[in-house]
Homo-oligomer: A and B are copies of this chain.
């Protein structure tokens, strides 16, 4: 039996179904593809493919549509990467080059992804766990309050207002903060956020007894800030594309939108994909249909990849109906990821 041809048939079915949104039959297949055999032969192949769970028919005597398993095989073994046109590459570049800061880069990226893939786009903010502390600033802001600002080398800034209860008055607090600022900076600068917490305890140790209460309070807040910094953030765009993408999702559209609004859900999803086998930089990770553990996303597929300056800082990708154009989508996600990474490196 020609195993090769059966795979070709599967590929043809996926391609036709993706472009037509309609179950595809044996006759249509031989007409649109150079398979070199008759419809009857294709029918036999289709019967086997259905037996093995790669395709299914919505009802008797209808054409076949791919199952999640079928898409999976298609993505893993059959999809030819569809390179982007020069014009598209230029468009990506010029659009992203206009960005002025990190927020702007992320914002532009997510819009761009949504626009060129015509699907919903997701961009995770560069993770802070691998980012290093560049500077810590302590500013007295009247009364016994202080502003704590934490700057990372990825350009992200976390800030928090601390109400220092144990401070005696504004002047003493101001001087204490000044001392503490230099101390904290020398202790933390260059350290990664994940490790920085450990260095904090040392700072408290070497503090003279008198100031210990104040310092402890501030260090605690800084600890919180570091943890908060580790909290991931995502932005999304292009939800309207999900509506337009045909009636496929109409049933679950509500659930999908809910899932997208719950950033926690998205973050878990993205996190999981980071752990996919071979999901490093430059490698795309694809979740198809029910492979997404979240119930609301059982009819959607997610394509993501890592990006960052040199090492992977975070992930970006798109989300759409399982019936999506994988080759094009994957090419777009990959291309955008590369450009964003390049921008972040500079």
Q: A-side binding surface: helix, strand, loop or mixed?
A: mixed
Which residues of A from 133 to 174 have beta carbons under 8 Å from B?
134-135, 137, 139, 141-142, 147, 149, 151, 155, 157, 159-161
Whether A135 lies near B149 (C-beta < 8 A) is no
Residue of B nearest to A245 (CB): B254
A135 to B159, CA, bound (A): 13
Copies in the assembly, this chain: 2
Whether B139 lies near A137 (C-beta < 8 A) is yes
Contact with B along A211-255 (1 / 0, CB 8 A): 000000000000000000000000001111001100000000111
Known: A161-B155, A240-B261, A257-B239. A147 touches B137 (CB 8 A): yes
With a CB–CB cut-off of 8 A, which chain B residues contact A257? Answer: 239-240, 243
Q: Is A258 part of the binding interface, using a Cβ–Cβ cutoff of 8 Å?
A: yes
Whether B261 lies near A254 (C-beta < 8 A) is no
Whether B160 lies near A101 (C-beta < 8 A) is yes
Residue of B nearest to A239 (CB): B257
With a CB–CB cut-off of 8 A, which chain B residues contact A253? Answer: 243
With a CB–CB cut-off of 8 A, which chain B residues contact A141? Answer: 134-135, 151
Residue of B nearest to A159 (CB): B157
A160 to B149, CA, bound (A): 12
With a CB–CB cut-off of 8 A, which chain B residues contact A237? Answer: 261
Contact of A135 among B139, B244, B258 (CB under 8 A): B139
A128 to B139, CA, bound (A): 21
* Apart from the given pairs A101-B161, A240-B258, 17 other A-B contacts in the complex at a CB distance below 8 Å: A134-B141, A134-B142, A135-B139, A135-B147, A147-B149, A147-B151, A149-B157, A149-B159, A155-B161, A159-B159, A239-B239, A239-B261, A240-B255, A240-B257, A240-B261, A243-B253, A244-B254
